[in-house]
Amino acid sequence: MSKKLCSADPKASYLAAQSEIDTAVARVLASGAYIHGPELAAFEREFAAYLGAGGVAGVANGTDAIELGLRALGIGAGDQVATVANTVTATVSAIVATGAQPVFVDIEADTMLMDAAALERVLRAEPAIKAVVPVHLYGLPCDMAAILAATRHRGARTLEDCAQAHGSKIDGRIVGTFGDLSAFSFYPTKNLGALGDAGAVAGGEAALVERVKLLRQYGWRTRYVSDEHGRNSRLDELQAAILRVRLARLDRENAHRARLAALYTAGLAGTPLQLPALPAGRTHTWHQFVVRTPLRDALRAHLERHDIHCSVLYPAPVHRQPAYRQAATLPQTEKACAEVLSLPLHPGIGEDDVARVCAAVREWAPA
């Protein structure tokens, strides 16, 4: 019986750093400080240094990072926010939580990322759009030069959704430093993952990051006195300590992901599968290795029979889901959602595992 392969394995990430994580957890438990203590302050400093960002505010999860980031940018009721529909629902639920309305932009056929030309058209048609949330999906950076040109021209703010792109770069510059603010999730299966929920907002402008720090704790500038309406969205000391351990390993793990992705690309060449696009100058961090085929469900069932369990990110575009239904016309988005399949790729996977997946795919689709 061969080993079961899945699209993610957070326990393998824990085991790979077990003694360091156990030591960090014991240190926090013995410290007596469990919320907003020295571990969070250190993680915020270290993650800001990693990004080369002006500042970082830890929050409770990635959804809150998007919501509080948008609120810090002044987004609220009566505003519209443009984003894509082939993302996790969280991107959209965060926009709705600010009181703003989501407006969906179609994606590029090859990269499956926000189409800057479509964004231009939407911005021209909808003057109430005050912010744009591009999503660096699967670890591939969006075309930020084109997106920023479109948003600046219209006076809209930009918040990058970096939840799947910790360490991704465009011409050597790391994502999370292009927009006015950027949002990260540290959900356990992300490239930088906690062992529970966590998230962060990063930004170059200190006043914006400080505003997120107000909003994440009841709007308090002084303890027990709310300057504005905030809420509870805190990143706790245990998760912050675990994230410090994982951050130190992030580049090594991303390099491992890149090696596996190169093996997939070579091993699947010549099959009918559409392989991930990689435009020049962009450094992919391979949160997901996503192939496309109109026969996606058949391929998925075939791989299941080989004990290879693949995810579909995401089967239903957000504008087709009951909670967020809209009559938007997004042909590329709908085509992508019907065709995408994530092959197993994470730090717990080895080169032999990739070879096994490639062999199983070739058996289904002999070249």
Ligand X SMILES: *Cc1c(COP(=O)(O)O)cnc(C)c1O
| Tokens standing for residue 136 | 């660096």
271 near ligand X (CB under 6 A): no
- Options 7, 13, 61, 168; binder of ligand X; rule CB under 6 A: 61
Size of the site for ligand X (CB under 6 A): 15
80 near ligand X (CB under 6 A): no
Interatomic CA distance for residues 139 and 162, integer angstroms: 8
By CB under 6 A, the residues from 177 to 196 that bind ligand X are 185, 187
**Cis omega before residue 314 (within 30°)?**
yes
Alpha-carbon distance values, 66 to 72, 150, 188, 316, 339 (Å): 10, 21, 18, 21, 28
Residues 317 and 331 sit within 8 Å (Cβ to Cβ): no
62 near ligand X (CB under 6 A): yes
Smallest separation, CB 30 to ligand X (Å):
28
Nearest Cα to 263, choosing from 274, 281, 275? 275
342 near ligand X (CB under 6 A): no
Smallest separation, CB 94 to ligand X (Å):
7
- Options 63, 111, 217, 239; binder of ligand X; rule CB under 6 A: 63
| Tokens standing for residue 359 | 């062999």
Task: Read off φ and ψ for residue 180, nearest 5 degrees.
Answer: -65, -40
Interatomic CA distance for residues 223 and 62, integer angstroms: 25
Site string for ligand X, 217-256 (x = CB under 6 A): ----------------------------------------
Smallest separation, CB 231 to ligand X (Å):
15
87 near ligand X (CB under 6 A): yes
Smallest separation, CB 91 to ligand X (Å):
5
Q: Which residue has the tokens 């909808």?
A: 126
Q: Which residues bind ligand X (CB under 6 A)?
A: 61-63, 87-88, 90-91, 135, 161, 163-164, 185, 187, 197, 199
